[in-house]
Amino acid sequence: MASEDIEMATSAAEAQAAAEAEASETQTYSADIRSLLSQRWIIPATARNKDSLSADVRIRLLPGGEVLDVNLVRSSGDRAFDDSAVTAVRSAGRLPVPSGALFNSHFRDIIVNFNPQMKGQ
């Protein structure tokens, strides 16, 4: 019985370590995507002093990171701001993504929040 307990504990520890590694890798790729989009994003002059603006953009990706589709899923209420966020994604063309199962489970269809604070990241 003790050897079964040890095996179960080892299995649980391995599963926990794998989950933590996946979460860390997901966070790394998410930060890389935000950084790249931040560099591409040009906030319109009419929205530069409006720190409360925020828009969510859905991005559908192909394996390899090529942008397949972009659409606005939550508007900021400022059309120029929203359009600039969508344009930033389209101009990127390809985003840094992992391959395999991690891409399929976390990066095939993502939502990115655009807000003025994003430019400082």
Q: What is the pLDDT of residues 41-55, one digit of tens each?
A: 999 988 878 888 999
Whether the Cβ atoms of residue 90 and residue 71 lie closer than 8 Å to each other: no
pTM attached to this predicted model: 0.82
What are the residues whose beta carbons fall under 8 Å from the beta carbon of 104, sequence distance 6 or more?
none
Where do the structural domains in the chain lie, given as residue ranges?
2-120
2-120 is a CATH 3.30.365.10 domain: no
Which of residues 26 and 121 earns the better pLDDT score?
26
What is the distance of C-alpha 31 from the center of its chain? Answer: 7
Helix (H) or strand (E) holding 112: strand 109-114
pLDDT of residue 40: 94
Residue 121 confidence (pLDDT) above 80: no
